[in-house]
Amino acid sequence: MDAEELAAKRLEGAGWQLVERNARTRYGEIDLIATERDRLVFIEVKAGRAGSLAGPERPALAVDRRKQLRIRRLATAWLAEGPPPPRHRELRFDVIGITYDRAGAVVDYEHIRGAF
């Protein structure tokens, strides 16, 4: 199962409502958009391999300042371009990092709420 699919299933299992997957804007794509109670949450999903020498130690750390700014711009565009979003009291940006072993089994799932 790919990382975005796994993240979506876990969120739904925890009672979240998925609004959109791979939401397209004129600037690019947002991995997942969901609601958690009265929060509209934009979620970036990152995956990596345990023991890999490439990339950061944990996949979630790949969302650096530059990527954060890009995701904020994507969220702004999505809110402006699309149909009215679900009712919400606040916006939040989360990051989900998933680490797989060499066989493709999940060895770590990290959900950082309010990551930036």
- What is the overall mean pLDDT for the chain? 95
Across 84-106, average pLDDT: 96
Taking the domains of the chain in order of start, what are their residue ranges?
Answer: 3-112
- Indicate the pLDDT class of residue 58, thresholds 50, 70 and 90: very high
Give 2-52 pLDDT, tens digit per residue.
999 999 999 999 999 999 999 999 999 999 999 999 999 999 999 999 988
AA identity, residue 98:
I
25, 15 in Cβ contact below 8 A? no
**CATH class of the 3-112 domain in this structure:** alpha beta
- Indicate the pLDDT class of residue 57, thresholds 50, 70 and 90: confident
